[in-house]
Structure 1
């Protein structure tokens, strides 16, 4: 477990101390007023000059700030660690001690039990009954509450004897405290899920939509990282847990998943202190994992919290962190060839690039990759950048109103990007920011949204399916979620928007 102190410079955004470290995705210091905890490493941005910073921690850190959270200092590796659960139980009272004394048969004032009709040879003696009762009371009073044994973070297995959760009947959403809204308004509700429910919560996972089925892979909860796959039917709201074949990847979080012709390409990520530079391909038709062999060819450095988009039969990977520092390099993986001929290539761009960052978002709009927010381990960014993937020129957008965000999601809906949740450098958010992609805008716009939104969170996933925006899981600094929420977009919410446009940068 990482210990927060003045000897640790950055936060735990991209590095971990052990396999189960609870704040591997914990956010970073934002500015000089914020505390800084261990992140990429103890090395500052001027790592090339060998400078190491050892700032002192301020005393006025917000209790909900991810820059310094009590879970960082916990001795147990769970993101939902509650010190009270692990505190030593108080000593038994005098009355309890008297009951547990081996010389005491019954407590004063105990009513006499009615006579049993069983033969005396079959009735337990009063002394034995009192002794069993007192032992049970003593044990329950003195023993601390403990969680079930955690599964191994190394193999992503569930505890033995834990049965799969199966819900046969959907739980329909209802909330008496939410006002009704016109059908033309966007509206939040909780998905009435059923089927073979996930046996874990979800943070820093990926969800990839293939037809109407969302494929969830990896991620972590307060017990460890996972390597299993769950499927969610966005039409029936049913979960399933299919068996996978082939070379199954190790438990993983903060990776990317890119859909290429009904195949999901997984790159990077990691667990604990380990960062991956490996590529796995899941064929959703055969449910088989495949590992491309790149031999000794050049490939990106291990990383997580990066982004990936698909353009011109290439996967474009940008940024992330490698455990030492944040990155802003750009790589492509050629996926327009047979798997045995896939190759990585580093791309040289022109113009001023964005600062190194991770936990940002990247959306492909036409031939432009739009990068929003993120963090370098010290600052939470509010900037928006566009990279023309044909000319390879970076352009920074001048914003009238800026919003700091990291660990958020960005989903294209018509001519808007829906920025959901994330962290603003001070607290987790449940807001939706609408970023207008129109030719003369490229600015944020307000929009009325009804219903009961998901609780504030980051490290979740959003996808759009059948005119609805789905939100899967997430993390609020204390708890990891396993819920699914739906934003019904409604006709008036997005149909009148321009559906065919381009971003000129």
Structure 2
């Protein structure tokens, strides 16, 4: 094993699984706070090589060409190389410069902004290179010549002010100065004054596509995992049309800047449709530590039941020893954390769908313990590609597929009483490979497959009345898709990646919810089962 490199994050070109990896990296001799080094090294916003367990074979990680569920239509995409992979999003900024001229004829120059309070350098490294967008009204630029004509007419109507107005107009016309902006600023301003983008009303939700920076994932992703810790989104694994990955990317949600950190330790194998659960531990004195527990997943015909843990502070992967009987290999399952226990529901092993419920006790990080639950009541039919949301002590399981049928039912597992309940809904809405995010007393269901086609619909499950609701959403909606991820941050839903049967996406969409603050007002409620 080679010594740990002195530089925490070298700036060598990166490559995905199908190309090259730095196989010389190894586990550090002593644990250090790699996360703090990573934060302190972010001014360059440069990519770095990904460490890899030398024992992992990187020859080929090709997956099946068909979607994971037989209820989905056959894959329509043809064999594609890296350059031929269809995508509806671009990973880089346009190279063509843009030039906009702004002339202010009605107000003096804006005063300089007040001094901002000091912020830690670790939070400002990525943000200092992102210039603020100029304030531009939501109206098209006016014509200077037309404005001059109007002033001339005014002079004729009031001769006593002709000399003053002529001088005033001449002064502004001669002080015209062009403003040069970067491509992303020009694109944002062009969008804000475009007549084709309708403004959202005061009480409406709004779709928009996010403009990201930095080193984004080099290939589109589906069936990946996304975990939000603070203001950082940790994206791991997934696949494109054929190849699975085991790469970690981090998206700064405040600046929408991607980075690819270097990780250490025993890396998980490339996989998709795995689960990744955030576990928080109280260290005392107001300090917390975070870890990501990754379980299962698959790559082509291979299915896994291994457990890997990523320490967020050191960015080090470990494969801990466990006690008890582990679940069978699977993917397309769901996990939720409850009282320092990870609850695993369903999934599939390639031959059949699964309906079992397992629990991993992580209260002792040195020795996680597996156990099989035997809930009472009527359990849901075996399924995978469903969603699970934990509301207090109740786990809400919705949708999914057994490979033959797409489900639209909702079950509740009361973890306190260890009992299943089926919920009677006003209507059944079949979905699989969708995303479900709790926002107050609602669960926002985005996209997915309904058994016949992919959808871009946004459905709201009211947890108080246990009924489906819809809202009118403005802006440009995202493309129909499934196998994406969604997270809630700062009153916005962020949708990342996905697949529509032909294309794998590398875009990030935002559903603005702040104007609909009335939706999550109910926070103290009970689910009636």
What TM-score comes out, normalization by structure 2 length?
0.66
**Count of residues in correspondence between the two structures:** 364
Give the conservation status (yes or no) of the 8 Å contact 2:65–2:242: no
Shift in alpha-carbon separation, 1:223–1:496, aligned structure 2, 3 A = closer
* Mapped contact 1:327–1:357 kept (Cα < 8 A): yes
1:277-312 CA distances to partner (integer Å, 9 max, x unpaired)? 0011111111111111127x3110000000001101
Alpha-carbon contact 1:206-1:461 (below 8 Å) kept: yes
Query: Structure 2: how far apart are the matches of 1:198 and 1:494?
Result: 35
Given the alignment, which residue of 494, 499, 505 partners 1:481? 505
Matches within 5 A, 1:242-281: 242-261=261-280, 262-281=290-309
Q: Shift in Å at residue 215 of structure 1?
A: 0.2
Q: Which moved more, 1:466-475 or 1:168-177?
A: 168-177
* 2:398 pairs with 1:372: yes
CA 1:390 to 1:303, structure 2 compared with 1: closer, same or farther past 3 Å?
Answer: same
Shift of 1:394: 0.8
Query: Among residues 426, 432, 441, which one is paired with 2:452 in the alignment?
Result: 426
- What pairs with 1:125-140 in structure 2 (closer than 5 Å)? none
Select 1:303's aligned residue among 314, 327, 330: 330
Q: Is the 8 A contact 1:319 1:328 kept in 2?
A: yes
| TM superposition shift of 1:147 | 5.1
The answer for the alignment partner of 1:212 in structure 2 is 231
1:67 aligns with 2:93: no
Match of 2:122 in 1: none
Instruction: Say whether 1:289 aligns with 2:308.
Output: no
Q: CA deviation at 1:428?
A: 0.4
Structure 2: how far apart are the matches of 1:226 and 1:409?
A: 21
Aligned to 1:315: 342
Q: TM-score, normalised to structure 1's length?
A: 0.69
SS at match of 2:346: strand
Do residues 231 (structure 1) and 224 (structure 2) align?
A: no
CA distances 1:241-280 after superposition (whole Å, capped 9, x unpaired) = 1000111111110000100011111000010110000011
Change beyond 3 A, Cα 1:436–1:220: same
Q: CA deviation at 1:20?
A: 2.1
- Paired position in structure 2 for 1:500: 524
Q: Does residue 439 of structure 2 align to residue 413 of structure 1?
A: yes
CA shift digits 1:102-157 (9 cap, x unpaired): xxxxxxxxxxxxxxxxxxxxxxxxxxxxxxxxxxxxxxxxxxxx65499xxxxxxx
8 Å contact from structure 1 (residues 186, 493) kept in 2: no
Q: Is the 1:165–1:196 contact (alpha carbons within 8 Å) kept by the matching residues of 2?
A: no
Aligned mate of 1:336, from 363, 373, 381: 363
What are the Cα deviations for residues 445-477 of structure 1, in whole angstroms up to 9, with x where unaligned?
Answer: 121211111100000000001111000000000
Shift of 1:491: 3.8
How far apart are 1:19 and its partner, in Å?
4.4
Distance 1:427 1:245 in 2: 41
Q: CA deviation at 1:184?
A: 2.7
CA–CA distance in 1 between the matches of 2:244 and 2:518? 37
Determine if contact 1:28/1:380 at 8 Å carries over to the other structure: no
Q: Closer, same or farther in 2 for the Cα pair 1:24/1:306, shift >3 Å?
A: farther
Is the contact between residue 281 and residue 289 of structure 1 (CA under 8 Å) also seen in structure 2? Answer: yes
- Is the Cα–Cα contact under 8 Å of residues 439 and 520 in structure 2 kept in the other structure? no
In the alignment, does 2:393 pair up with 1:351? no
Distance 1:200 1:336 in 2: 36
CA distance in 1, matches of 2:402, 2:65: 16
Q: Distance in 2 between matches of 1:328 and 1:391?
A: 19
The answer to whether the 8 A contact 2:63-2:242 is kept is no
Shift of 1:425: 0.8
C-alpha distance in 1, partners of 2:242/2:400?
26
The 2-side partners of 1:269 and 1:260 are apart by 19
Distance verdict in 2 for CA 1:245–1:494, change over 3 Å: farther
2:412 is paired with a residue whose SS is: strand
> Conserved in 2, the CA contact under 8 Å of 1:166 and 1:196?
no
Give the aligned partner of residue 202 of structure 2.
183
User: Equivalent residue for 1:442?
Assistant: 466
SS of match in other structure, 1:315: strand
Write out aligned runs for 1:19-30 (5 A). Answer: 19-23=61-65, 25-29=67-71
Does structure 1 retain, via aligned residues, the 8 Å contact 2:73–2:501? no
- Equivalence for 1:192: 211
Q: Post-superposition shift, 1:497?
A: 2.7
Aligned counterparts of 1:209 and 1:303: Cα–Cα separation in 2: 24
Q: Which residue of 2 aligns with 1:133?
A: none
Provide the C-alpha distance between the structure 1 equivalents of 2:258 and 2:425, rounded to a whole number of angstroms.
Answer: 41
User: 1:394 is paired with a residue of what secondary structure?
Assistant: strand
Give the aligned CA root-mean-square deviation in angstroms: 2.1
Return the alpha-carbon distance in structure 2 between the equivalents of residues 314 and 445 of structure 1: 32
Aligned-partner Cα distance in 2 for 1:304–1:472: 20
Match of 2:415 in 1: 389
1:397 is displaced (CA, Å) by 0.9
Deviation at 1:198, TM superposition (A): 1.3
Partner of 1:92: none
In the alignment, structure 1 segments of 5+ residues that lack a partner are: 1-17, 30-65, 82-145, 151-163
Q: d(CA) in 1 for partners of 2:509 and 2:472?
A: 18
- For 1:471 and 1:443, the matched residues in 2 are separated by 24
